[in-house]
Structure 1
Amino acid sequence: MKRIYSYFLVFFMISILTILFFYVQNINTEKVEIVKSEYALQIKQKDSFWIYEIYTNDNLFIRQEYIPAVKGKQVFKTEEDAKKIGKLVVSKLSQNLFPVISQKDLNSHNIYFEKI
């Protein structure tokens, strides 16, 4: 009987340590996301679709009305889709990368577009 309690105690301690580890990791990740960027993202509705605009020093830097990397003039159908790609572009710009979006990026962010 004492052996069962010992196993239970060990399992409980390992569980608590695992939860604490992931909690601390999550706090550190959130702090990284809070870092100020010189770029500001705005999502706007235009007619029946969504666009994103990226500003730097209160000046319009990028205005994206169509989904990048796809053929034709396909639009963002939801605000969430425009926000996902806008955030990706801001992230690339903040890392001093060229803000190129590929179809692989669109697929990994679950952005709907017609494959022509």
Structure 2
Amino acid sequence: MKRNNNYKIVLLGVTILFIVFFYIQSGSNETKTVKDTAYALQVIEQDSLWIYEVYNQDSLFIRQEYIPAAKGQQGFKSKADAEKIGKLVIRKLSENKMPVIRITDLYANAIDFKNI
């Protein structure tokens, strides 16, 4: 009888350890938000167009004066557009991906540009 209770206690302990382990693992895999990264975004008005800069630990990492993926040298017409793409770049960097912006990203974020 005592031996049977010992097995139950050990099984319960192992089960609790597995639950705690998987809970901790699932919490560490959550997607990082822009605020949780070492990157910072700054949107600046320049010559009545908007640019964004991405900083990595207080040093300039990316300065984007033109809309990426758009043909020609088209600037961002609004602060909101520059901010959307800047945040997308930071999200990709935070996920250890290349910060490449494609034309589909521009359409998905409703960025105002001329498709020439």
Q: Same fold (TM over 0.5)?
A: yes
Residue of structure 2 equivalent to 1:20: none
Distance (Å, rounded) in 2 between the aligned partners of 1:114 and 1:86: 19
Mind listing any 5+ residue stretches in structure 1 that lack a counterpart?
A: 1-30
The letter for the 1-side match of 2:56 is T
Distance (Å, rounded) in 2 between the aligned partners of 1:48 and 1:35: 28
Which structure has the higher relative contact order (CA within 8 Å, separation 6+)?
A: 2
Cα gap change, 1:59 to 1:35, in 2 (>3 Å): closer
The letter for the 1-side match of 2:33 is E
Q: CA RMSD in A?
A: 1.6
Residue of structure 1 equivalent to 2:109: 109
Shift of 1:112: 1.0
Distance (Å, rounded) in 2 between the aligned partners of 1:74 and 1:37: 29
Identical pairs, percent: 55
Distance (Å, rounded) in 1 between the aligned partners of 2:32 and 2:38: 15
Structure number with greater Rg is 2
4+ long deviations beyond 3 Å: 31-35
Shift of 1:35: 5.2
Mind listing any 5+ residue stretches in structure 2 that lack a counterpart?
A: 1-30
- Deviations 1:17-61 (Å, cap 9, x if unpaired)? xxxxxxxxxxxxxx9637510100000000100000000011000
Q: Give the structure-1-normalised TM-score.
A: 0.70
- Deviations 1:55-107 (Å, cap 9, x if unpaired)? 00110000000000011000000000000000000000000000000000000
Cα gap change, 1:107 to 1:34, in 2 (>3 Å): closer
